[in-house]
């Protein structure tokens, strides 16, 4: 993961990436976009690509590293089936800036590039984040020179000055495995010069970074999640990420446990040279051992997964989880001076952990006629 972070941060300065980001913006495939009206001699898409890349590079350089196991990914997806009800809070972030890689996709979508003959499934397997404000980026010291726009379902709105929240960037793997499975002459897109791009063309480019920026979103502090987000969207993915944060930071009964893999000294020195501030360990997040499903359940779910979309968790988490608004200071509840926290409550299943789940319906048997009540 430290290597992935370094290469992703470095790629934010690469001319190839900036041109690709510029074309993506020109196609309208963005969620958050900076606009600088004063610079009329330079294409807005070029300025936007540079500003977005600069911000993401900074977040990656500050990022704490987290790896989420397959069981933990499944638990987050199961809990996120009901969107978080609490208002978005900075207290839920496990770190002020981070990069989190999931063992299984937290979502995915299918797409066909203009002029392509082949549909491609794009999995979302990682997210970076950091605190963000609309006034953070300035031009010659003037934050008003940059206007931020949001694009949700084709509806473009201005992000107001003074907006503060959490920026999330979602990543897809750049492993080329889907192109290796295609016929070499399969057309997957159209290049800027109008020529068709084949699977063989993509494979010939090599891989400069294992992670590719797919999309982004901002969550305003104090805002609430859509209880019914559209599938395969940043709204759905961000609810899953926030739920994972809730599971990690939740007080009371511990639902997760963290193991740390130390960074070798040579790697820490290289991180410092590259401007990376968090040179510590990689934090591996797993379901707490007292709540973890048996390995056989994970294996069954893994066999049913295609590795490119969010996995089914029918074996690992067969009973719906729920959320509870819990008072943290009951003595002050009546006066209204208490503090409430949303808790994720795991299902409780009796019996040996390796035993199959058996759900029965209650049947009431009448072996005699009930007594007639008096009129």
Instruction: Return the SS3 of 201.
Output: helix
Tell me, what's the pLDDT at 228? 93
pLDDT of residue 141: 64
Spans of all domains in the chain: 2-174+209-314
Q: Choose among 21, 27, 19: nearest CA to 151.
A: 27
CA distances to 88, 239, 344 from 81, rounded to whole Å, are 17, 9, 12
Rounded to the nearest integer, the mean pLDDT of the chain is 83
- pLDDT given for residue 177 in this prediction: 66
DSSP string covering 155-166:
EEEEEPTT-EEE
In terms of pLDDT, which residue wins out, 28 or 90? 90
Over residues 53-92, the pLDDT tens digits come to 999 999 999 999 999 999 999 999 989 989 999 999 999 9
pLDDT > 70? residue 365: no
Q: State the pLDDT confidence band at 206, using cuts at 50, 70 and 90.
A: low
Give the separation between CA 34 and CA 51, rounded to whole angstroms: 7
What pLDDT was estimated at residue 8? 94
Query: According to the model, what pLDDT value does residue 283 have?
Result: 97
pLDDT at 213 over 90: yes
Instruction: For residues 132 and 55, give the distance between their C-alpha atoms in angstroms, rounded to a whole number.
Output: 9
Per-residue pLDDT tens digits for 328-357: 777 776 677 787 888 888 764 444 445 444
pLDDT at 156 over 70: yes
Residue 375: C-alpha distances to residues 138, 285, 319, 372 (Å): 82, 64, 45, 9
Q: What tokens were used for 106?
A: 């937290």
pLDDT reading at 151 higher than 80: yes
Structure tokens that stand for 218 in this block = 């901002």
3-class secondary structure for 280-343? CCEEEEEECCCCCCCHHHHHHHHHHCCCCCCCCCCCCCCCCCEEEEEECCHHHCCCCCCCEEEE
Q: pLDDT for 81-119, tens place per residue?
A: 899 999 999 999 999 999 999 999 999 888 766 555 667
Contact 326, 342 (CB under 8 A): yes
Does residue 235 have a pLDDT over 70? yes
Quick one: CA torsion of 242, 91, 260, 273, rounded to 10 degrees?
100
Instruction: For residue 126, name the pLDDT band (cuts at 50, 70, 90).
Output: very high
């Amino acid at each position: 993961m430290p290597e992935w972070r370094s290469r992703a941060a470095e790629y934010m300065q690469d001319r190839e990436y900036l041109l690709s980001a510029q074309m993506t913006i020109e196609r309208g495939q963005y969620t958050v976009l900076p606009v600088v009206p004063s610079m009329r001699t330079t294409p807005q898409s070029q300025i936007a690509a540079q500003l977005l890349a600069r911000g993401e590079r900074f977040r990656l350089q500050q990022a704490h590293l987290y790896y989420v196991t397959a069981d933990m990914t499944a638990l987050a997806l199961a809990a996120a089936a009901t969107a978080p009800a609490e208002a978005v809070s900075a207290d839920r972030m496990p770190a002020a800036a981070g990069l989190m890689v999931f063992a299984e996709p937290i979502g995915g979508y299918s797409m066909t590039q203009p002029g392509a003959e082949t549909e491609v499934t794009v999995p979302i397997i990682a997210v970076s984040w950091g605190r963000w404000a609309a006034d953070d980026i300035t031009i010659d010291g003037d934050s008003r020179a940059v206007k931020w726009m949001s694009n949700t379902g084709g509806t473009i709105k201005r992000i107001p000055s003074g907006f503060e929240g959490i920026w999330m960037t979602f990543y897809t793997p750049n492993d080329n495995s889907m192109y290796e499975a295609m016929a070499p002459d399969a057309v997957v897109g159209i290049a800027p010069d109008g020529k068709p791009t084949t699977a063989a063309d993509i494979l010939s480019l090599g891989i400069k970074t294992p992670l590719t920026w797919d999309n982004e979103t901002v969550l305003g502090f104090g805002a609430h999640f859509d209880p019914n987000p559209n599938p395969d969207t940043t709204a759905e993915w961000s609810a899953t990420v926030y739920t994972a944060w809730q599971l990690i930071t939740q007080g009371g009964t511990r639902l997760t446990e963290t193991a740390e893999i130390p960074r070798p000294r040579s790697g820490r020195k290289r991180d410092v040279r590259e401007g990376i501030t968090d040179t510590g360990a990689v934090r591996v997040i797993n379901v707490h051992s007292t709540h973890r499903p048996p390995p056989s359940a994970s294996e069954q779910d893994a066999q049913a997964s295609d590795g490119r979309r969010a996995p089914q968790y029918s074996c690992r988490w067969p009973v719906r989880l729920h959320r509870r608004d819990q008072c943290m200071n009951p003595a002050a509840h009546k006066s209204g001076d208490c503090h409430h926290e949303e808790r994720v409550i795991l299902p409780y299943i009796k019996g040996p952990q390796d035993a199959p789940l058996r759900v029965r319906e209650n049947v009431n048997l009448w072996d005699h006629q009930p007594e007639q009540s008096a009129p």
